[in-house]
Structure 1
Amino acid sequence: MKAKDIMVKKVITVHKNDTIAQIAKVLVDQAISGVPVVDDEGSLVGIVSEGDLLHKGTTPRVPSYVNILGAIIYYNGVEQYNADFKKLMAEQAASIMTEKVVSISEEIEIDEIAKLMLQHSIKRIPVVKNNKIIGIISRRDLIKLLIK
């Protein structure tokens, strides 16, 4: 069985210029935990999850550092701090979205999709063709297969 056999074809998306409030409303109204972000041409440019939106209510994780003779040397977490801070200050999808989206083609086998979800700790994978979203698969879609 392949992605095209189980993907949801009517994909809810948001535009990269949509506000945080608009995105939150889509997630709540549609009862989904994440949404792909598209540009003016409809190309996939990112994804926003509930986890991304939670950054709006938190403080950035402070990077690990060591103080040697008065010099602060960061050795872990600077990139994470910068990413957290960017999301904290975000006002639009383009600023809060995860840009490195794991996406698949419609010909990918179901077992490979499950492996990708586990490997990358993600809950949904957009199905794309020529960088345009043609479907989406969530963990729930895979779990439904266990019932059959």
Structure 2
Amino acid sequence: MQAHDIMTSRVYKVKESDTVRAVIEKFIDHRISGLPVVNDRNEIVAYVSDGDIMRYIGKHEDVVIDVLYFSTVLKGDAEEFEERARSLLQLNVMRIAHRKVLTVSWDEEIEQIAAILGKKHIKKLPVERNGVLVGIISRGDVVRHTFKRFL
């Protein structure tokens, strides 16, 4: 079985000129956690995930909290967190996306796809054909297609 046999052809994606707002809207609307970022020729140039969002809005430094100032620090942290979240929406997606993207070829075998997903601890792999995005494969796709004939 090859990538084209199990991939999802309808791929949600964003363009490299989009803001993070477009990414988060697609995450919410389609209940997904990652998107390929493509150029005008539909070539994959990056990948953005919910993990990239978490890294941006999360605390960027280690902070030691003094017990006497605990409530003041928490209030300041909440305001700071909200400001990071608001500012993130305006950023270009390429500011937070990973530019080194693992992909698989249209004709990659399912065993190799399973090995990549497992070894690299990633949830999805974009599928390319002649350098162009044609699909996406998730860990769930591999499990469903591998085991449905045994159940």
TM-score if structure 2 supplies the norm length?
0.75
Query: For residues 1-148 of structure 1, what are the structure 2 equivalents within 5 Å?
Result: 1-60=1-60, 91-145=91-145, 146-148=147-149
Structure in which a larger fraction of residues adopt strand: 1
Query: CA-to-partner distance for each residue in 1:2-57, whole Å, 9 max, x for gaps?
Result: 11110111111101121111101101111111010001222100111111111231
Quick one: distance in 2 between partners of 1:142 and 1:16? 28
- Quote how far apart the aligned CAs of 1:61 are: 5.7
The one-letter code matched in structure 2 to 1:134 is: V
- 1:144, CA displacement in angstroms? 1.1
Deviation at 1:93, TM superposition (A): 1.1
Number of residue-to-residue matches in the alignment: 123
The aligned amino acid for 1:42 is N
CA RMSD of superposed structures (Å): 1.8
Gap regions ≥5 residues in structure 1: 63-87
In the other structure, the counterpart of 2:75 is: none
Counterpart AA for 1:124: K
**Deviation (angstroms), 1:124:** 0.4
Q: Percent identity?
A: 33
Which of the pair is proportionally richer in helix?
A: 2
Code of the aligned partner of 2:148: I
Secondary structure class of the residue paired with 2:104: coil
Q: CA deviation at 1:102?
A: 0.5
Alpha-carbon distance in 2 for matches of 1:4, 1:103: 13
**Runs of 4 or more above 2 Å deviation:** 59-62
Structure 2 residue runs of 5 or longer lacking an equivalent are: 63-86
Letter in 1 for 2:120: H
Greater CA radius of gyration, 1 or 2?
2
